[in-house]
Amino acid sequence: MQPRDGGPVDQAIELVHRADRARVLAGLIGLLRDFDLAEEALQDAFVAAFEAWPKTGIPVNPAAWLTTTARRKAIDRIRRAAARDRRQREWGELSVAWTSGSPADAIVDDRLRLIFTCCHPALSIEAQIALTLRTLGGLSTAEVARAFVIAEPTLAQRLVRAKRKIKDSAIPYRVPDPAELPERLDAVLAVITLIFNAGYLPGDGSAVVRADLCEEAKRLAVLLADLLPHEPEPIALVALLQLLDSRRAARADENGRPLTLEEQDREVWDRAQILTALQLLERVATLGPPGPYALKAGIAAVHASTRHPADTDWPRIVDLYDQLLLVEPTPVVALNRCVAVAMTSSPEDGLRLLDEPDLAGALGQYHHYHLTRADLLRRAGRAREAAIAYEAARTRTDNRAEHEFVDRRLEELSLRSGGPISHPMRGAAAANRQG
Amino acid sequence: MRYMLIIASDPALHPVPGGPGWDDLMAGYAAFSEQLASHGRPFSGDPLAPPETATTVRVRDGKTLTMDGPFAETKEWMSGYFLIEADNLDGALMAASMIPSAKFGAVEVRPVAEMH
């Protein structure tokens, strides 16, 4: 929603759109049980605001005005549809739902219900991400399409299909029972993480970071943590995203080329975000044994608390990865653990783990696997093998910034060819590209 | 809402009558049916004979074409079904996860398209 002329009414609408759209929309979906109708009614209400507010003045509570107006617009739409299709039954149900009203605190629950509906495992992961960004985040379909490098009609089609499935197969609009919550919460956390990663590690395009997606993901994580204050993992996710995001300004050089964790100027790291995250992690520690997000945040916290890369407490990081492998035994976790092992003992030890057939087989098409391998080979002084591994990484990503990073490394290797690499520890953290 | 739970089994993994695991499987189905009955909502369900017994019928231009075999040749085959009532998809998914054959194959959950 763009301001039309930037006057006070337009500014007020812009503000309420940014701050309250998700909350109002969630309430409407809860009431109407229909995503499309809720979105259309809210759109109608915004149009009505553009017409009414210049005459009546900006209401004291713009969000409440929008909710009331959107309900009325929804009823208008249903009446028109009922007249057309004789869908009297729906109108009857809506009247009942409307008169029962929704107390103010139920609006918060509506957003939580909406998160669980959007991130329902019966929907494809792409649909979960798109629905979450469209309904709870502030992004337009065009922006979501651009962020995930999908043609807009394809994305629109995907959203239509997802909404139809929610309706036709009766995916419920509710917070899961305590017995189901851990599994369903994992799905929500995964969606938010994927949104953040799409901003932090774009697989395509030329940017190193897409700040808008990182901000959306952080906002969603904070919302989830606020709505489920007794669950440790959403709080840990907020901390993790803040710790990763604290490095945003340091992650590329002045030419936009990505820098490794070790190369980054740690003075540029956002201290405020780091401090908040460390405080959140203290609270997480009081809420029970650490889950995967608490452990990942713990690893990021070790880096965030270390001013000089050489002082990094790698044995502590290996220990955290060991714990993480128990709760999340995935190849990517195993890959990152290899780096920590290499840093604790030797590059050769890391390479031995990396070349184990299970890991090599699982991650052979993943460009970070080859980058990690290349980096460990380089530090082991095996320049020729390192160059081959960098080339392997290059062919497995379309990201231009990543290509430039590989080119820079290859150039450095060729300058040094013929002899062992003089500073085997230099660029060590390059492998830890999550960093 | 009504949901069809379509059970697809991989014959290479699924217990066979009299073989290992068969008695447990039958006990599991008895327990599952009891659980469904305890909800007091109508349901139906039965196992199907193997796909070798299937015959497929198509009518084209008024002519009935009858063919030996199922309509699709797949590794997994439809070995049974339940038609249940549930409040929403979560209820149906919960029921599907309790079907004993889900351990050996898959259960497809499909809402019935109610015609008003």
Is there a contact between A171 and A112 (Cβ–Cβ < 8 Å)?
A: no
- The CA-based dihedral angle spanning residues A40, A41, A45, A51, taken in that order and rounded to the nearest 10 degrees: 60
Please count the other Cβ atoms lying within 10 Å of the Cβ belonging to residue A41: 27
Specify the higher pLDDT residue, A422 or B32: B32
Residue B1 and residue A122: Cβ atoms within 8 Å? no
pLDDT bucket at A425, cuts 50 / 70 / 90: very low
Alpha-carbon gap: B68 to the closest alpha carbon of chain A (Å): 33
Tokens of A144: 């979501």
Task: Decide if A184 touches B, using CB distance below 8 A.
Answer: no
3-class DSSP state for residue A260? coil
Tokens of A275: 């401090």
Strand partners, A147: none
At residue A416, the pLDDT reads 62
Tokens of A119: 């991130």
Specify the higher pLDDT residue, A314 or A6: A314
Alpha-carbon gap: A326 to the closest alpha carbon of chain B (Å): 24
Residue B89 and residue A176: Cβ atoms within 8 Å? no
- Chain B residues inside the 8 Å CB shell of A172: 87-90
Q: Which helix (H) or strand (E) holds B44?
A: strand B44-47
- Predicted structure pTM score: 0.77
Alpha-carbon gap: A278 to the closest alpha carbon of chain B (Å): 37
Tokens of A314: 């790698």
Helices and strands in chain B, H and E counts = 2, 6
pLDDT reading at A430 higher than 80: no
Size of interface A-B (CB pairs under 8 A): 24
- The CA-based dihedral angle spanning residues A132, A137, A143, A145, taken in that order and rounded to the nearest 10 degrees: -10
Q: Which of A348, A328, A350, A356 is nearest to A338 (CA)?
A: A350
Residue A172 and residue B89: Cβ atoms within 8 Å? yes
At residue A210, the pLDDT reads 73
- Chain A residues inside the 8 Å CB shell of B111: 168-170
Q: Which of A261, A244, A249 is nearest to A192 (CA)?
A: A244
Tell me how far apart the alpha carbons of residues A425 and A69 are, in angstroms, rounded to a whole number: 63
Percent of chain A with pLDDT over 70: 86
* Residues A126-156: tens digit of each pLDDT: 899 989 988 887 778 888 887 777 889 999 9
Tell me how far apart the alpha carbons of residues A139 and A13 are, in angstroms, rounded to a whole number: 16
Span of A63-77, A111-125, A189-203 with lowest mean pLDDT: A189-203
Report phi then psi at A263, rounded to 5. -80, -20
Percent of chain A with pLDDT over 90: 51
Q: Which of A244, A14, A171 is nearest to B88 (CA)?
A: A171
ipTM for the whole predicted complex goes beyond 0.90: no
At residue A319, the pLDDT reads 97
Specify the higher pLDDT residue, A79 or A210: A79
- Chain B residues inside the 8 Å CB shell of A170: 1, 87-89, 111
Per the document, the length of chain A is 435
Residue A172 and residue B1: Cβ atoms within 8 Å? no
pLDDT reading at A161 higher than 80: yes
Helices and strands in chain A, H and E counts = 20, 0
Tell me how far apart the alpha carbons of residues A411 and B28 are, in angstroms, rounded to a whole number: 64
Alpha-helical (H) ranges within A33-140 are 35-56, 62-85, 88-100, 104-118, 125-135
Tell me how far apart the alpha carbons of residues A169 and B114 are, in angstroms, rounded to a whole number: 11
